[in-house]
Amino acid sequence: MNALFPLLWTLGWAMVSQVLLFRFGVFWGGYGLLFVHVYGLLKMPVGWPPTTYVLLASLSGLVLDVVCFTGGMHLAASATLGMAYPALTSALESREGLRQGHVMDPSQDSWVRYSVFVAMGVGVYAAVLFGLQNGWSLMGRTLGQTLASSLLNVAVFLLLQGLLNRPHRG
């Protein structure tokens, strides 16, 4: 419960800024989209039951769908990210493993490992979102949009992480 309040705070400001500021953050002819709300979802602590990840991510996707009138695309992408989250964190754990309640952070996990984690998380989200938007007939466009959006969001998330989160001492 101790990690729930910082998570809800981060997820809350990320959702509000996504809706109010970055909703129209479309770059390179639709190939690069900003998913700032995913920054909040990637702050979920390690060790929760898998259904908690799915429910929390689905709730955030539902809110975005209702506010932005996207017809369930954000819900599907968020639910998929929630299902993949335990696998993403376990794929990038160090030799010592991840302790209960650990939140992926570049000051503790290294900037490279955090960048890969963000790229994989945003890649899952973007692949589902653009796959639903484009369909099978435009799979090349889906892959291009996923790659461009993932690179853009990794840069933005690293900037946010460097600006907003100070390393913990001790």
With contact defined as beta carbons under 8 Å apart, do 64 and 37 qualify?
yes
Model pLDDT, residue 83? 92
Question: Taking the mean position of all CA atoms in its chain, how far away is CA 154?
Answer: 10
pLDDT in tens, the chain (170 residues): 566 777 777 777 777 777 777 667 666 667 777 888 888 888 888 888 889 889 989 998 898 888 888 888 889 999 999 999 988 888 877 666 666 767 777 777 778 888 898 999 999 999 999 998 887 788 888 898 899 889 998 998 888 887 777 665 65
- pTM of the model as a whole: 0.83
Model pLDDT, residue 5? 74
- What is the CB-side half-sphere exposure of residue 67 using CA atoms within 13 A? 14
Q: Residue 26: helix, strand or coil by DSSP?
A: strand
Model pLDDT, residue 23? 67
